[in-house]
Amino acid sequence: MQQKWLKTTEVEVASNKLSFYIETIEVNQLSPLAFFAAGERKYKGKRFFWQNREKTLAIVGLGQAIILENRRIDRFDDIEFKWKELTKNIVMEEQEPQPILFGGFTFDPENVEPGEWDGFPSSYFTVATFQLTKQHEKTYVSIHLITDRQDSSALFDQLREERDQLIHAAQVKELKTYEKPEIRTIDERNKDNYFQAVQSVTNLIRNHKADKVVIARSLELEFKGQPSSPQVIYQILNEQPESYLFALERDNLLFFGATPERLVKVENQYAYSACVAGSIKRGKTAEEDKKLGEQLLNDSKNLKEHQYVVDMIASTFKKHCEHYKVPKRPKLLKIRDIQHLYTPVEGKLFDHATILQLVKHLHPTPALGGVPRNKALEMIREFEKMNRGLYAGPVGWMDADGNGEFVVAIRSAALIDDKAYLYAGGGIVADSNPMTEYDETLVKFRPMLRALGGQIQ
């Protein structure tokens, strides 16, 4: 059934009585979604899914070897410290898949608005019990066991057996297709409030109380029946292959999305970020599409929205990098429903700089928060009147070597039982117009609305 081996490793977790056992095998082709779906019965509520934009890496997690979560002010440092403690003694070989810490940070831990995010911690990360890694056209399945039990060998044998069952179940589901969910109702929850918020914020910006503030809103969908996680991940895999795809379950909540926006990727002490802000719809013909793209590249309101993000990301790279580069002018990033202004930023990190330190300093960029940052966050809390939860927050993964990638979790939704909450926002600057901003959110809702069975005009 599978090509064997890689190896089994046991390491002691620093300053703790825990041991971290890892066993990885290479398997013949296995669909990441089918592996995710194989955990439906036993691991629902404890799974994650990731596929990068280039489609060179897919990671799926079933079960939880450990959960790292917190509600702390120093949430980034706390997760970084705990992950370092757990992995300090792990030494892996170059091409070998590593244990991955996967999860996300909510947009704003100080937001206390009640709603669908009640009870969700401000950082939520897990190491999966069973991790599928698909990279360089090869597929691996790893078992992770973190335990203080001395007699863990019987337990580990059980996990091996279960791994083989999961692989088998995934092979059976390999070509399974899924229907779209059926929507009963769509509610533009806070539409009036949204118009008021955009108006108030625009006025405050005109009175120089801030330069830019991102205002978002949400839709509530109710379904006939209860959509499953594999069912909706299947749709985004088919419909949004040019975006980063992510899904994170916690109990009965599934947060998932298809975002074009990387927050930061770190590979061998090089860091890569992307400024994505400023938007226009796609054209119906190639000619119209090109015209719209050119209009966006020359539109002063959108260029302003974009430049705030470039300036902030560039200044963060300046603090953390030996050298870095930022192109002078934005390009276009075109995805299925929308085109954005896009400026990639990259740099060589100082030795002591880490991915989570970059996440901590970059989040929220002015593509999601605003300028000045704290003033914008205050205005979002005051006017948005909703809790973003993980929407617009950093979601992603890191390994024991400190490599990893975090995206900005936009074009996203939270699915809870037979309801889904979709989120979209836009950058408000002095010359914003509420109706244009509203229309922009309609375009940004499309990827999730389509995936969830909504009518897209």
Ligand X SMILES: C=C(O[C@H]1C=CC=C(C(=O)O)[C@@H]1O)C(=O)O
Integer Cα distance of 426 and 432 in angstroms: 10
Exposure of 43 in the CB half-sphere (CA atoms within 13 A): 25
The verdict on 450 binding ligand X (CB under 6 A) reads no
Q: What is the longest distance spanned by two Cα atoms in the chain?
A: 68
User: Please, which residue, 51 or 339, has the CB nearer to Mg ion?
Assistant: 339
Instruction: List the one residue out of 161, 369, 378 whose CA is nearest residue 277.
Output: 369
What burial letters (b/e) apply to 206-245, b meaning 16+ CB within 10 Å?
eeeebbbbbbbbbbbbebeeebbbbbbbbbbbeebeebbb
Phi, psi of 456 (to 5 degrees): -110, 120
For position 349 contacting ligand X by CB under 6 A, the verdict is no
Residue 410 interacts, among Mg ion, ligand X, none and using kind-specific CB cut-offs from 5 to 8 Å, with ligand X
Residues 264-303 that bind Mg ion (CB under 5 A): 279
Pick between residue 132 and residue 216 the one whose CB is nearest to ligand X.
216
The reply on whether position 444 binds ligand X by CB under 6 A is yes
355 contacts ligand X (rule: CB under 6 A): no
Burial of 251 (0-12, 13-18, 19+ CB in 10 A): exposed
Task: Choose the one of Mg ion, ligand X, none that binds residue 444, judging by a C-beta under 5 to 8 angstroms depending on kind.
Answer: ligand X
Query: Considering only residues 424, 429, 449, 452, which one is a binding residue for ligand X as defined by CB under 6 A?
Result: 424
Which of ligand X, Mg ion, none sits in contact with 276, Cβ below 5 to 8 A by type? ligand X
Cβ closest to ligand X, residue 278 vs residue 453: 278
Among the residue ranges 28-36, 121-129, 270-278, 317-325, the one whose residues contact ligand X (CB under 6 A): 270-278
Of residues 247-266, those binding ligand X (CB under 6 A): 261
Q: Does 197 bind ligand X (CB under 6 A)?
A: no
Name the residue type at position 416.
Answer: I
Residue-level length of the chain: 457
368 binds, among ligand X, Mg ion, none (CB under 5 to 8 A by kind): ligand X
Is residue 212 involved in binding ligand X (CB under 6 A)? no
> Among 409, 438, 380, which Cα is nearest to 212's?
380
Among 75, 265, 304, 340, binds ligand X (CB under 6 A): 340
Cα distances from 54 to residues 136, 217, 221, 260, 378, in angstroms, run: 11, 29, 31, 11, 36
Which residue in 32, 257, 425, 447 binds ligand X (CB under 6 A)? Answer: 425
**368 interacts with ligand X by CB under 6 A:** yes
Which C-beta is closer to ligand X: that of 139 or that of 279? 279
The three-state secondary structure class of 273 is strand
At residue 88, the 3 state secondary structure works out as coil
Return the range that interacts with ligand X (CB under 6 A); candidates 28-36, 250-258, 274-282, 371-379.
274-282
Taking the complex as a whole, how short is the minimal distance between the CB of residue 217 and ligand X, in angstroms?
Answer: 9
By CB under 6 A, what part of segment 89-148 binds ligand X? Answer: none
Nearer to ligand X, 320 or 340 (CB): 340
* Shortest Å, Cβ 375 to ligand X: 17
DSSP secondary structure string, 276-314?
EEEEEEPPSSHHHHHHHHHHHHT-HHHHHHHHHHHHHHH
Sole residue written with tokens 């205050």: 378
C-alpha–C-alpha distance, residues 407 and 413, integer Å: 15
Site for Mg ion in 101-130 (CB under 5 A): none
Of 89 and 115, nearer to ligand X (C-beta) is 115
Per CB under 6 A, the segment of 71-79, 136-144, 262-270, 421-429 that binds ligand X is 421-429
Among 52, 123, 131, 279, interactor with ligand X by CB under 6 A: 279
Among 426, 447, 453, 454, binds Mg ion (CB under 5 A): 426
Helix (H) or strand (E) holding 42: helix 40-43
Q: Out of 99, 121, 427, 447, point to the residue binding Mg ion (CB under 5 A).
A: 427
The 10 Å CB-count burial string (b at 16+, else e) for 147-173 is: beeeebeeebeebeebbeebbebbbeb
The interface partner of residue 170, options being Mg ion, ligand X, none and the CB cut-off 5 to 8 Å by kind, is: none
Which one of 25-33, 85-93, 265-273, 424-432 is the stretch in contact with ligand X (CB under 6 A)?
A: 424-432
Q: Which residues are catalytic?
A: 212, 261
Q: Which of 66, 167, 214, 386 binds ligand X (CB under 6 A)?
A: 214
Coil/strand/helix, residue 110 = coil
Distance CA 157, CA 166 (A): 14
Residues that bind ligand X (CB under 6 A): 214, 216, 261, 276-279, 305, 340, 367-368, 410-411, 424-427, 444
Residues that bind Mg ion (CB under 5 A): 279, 426-427
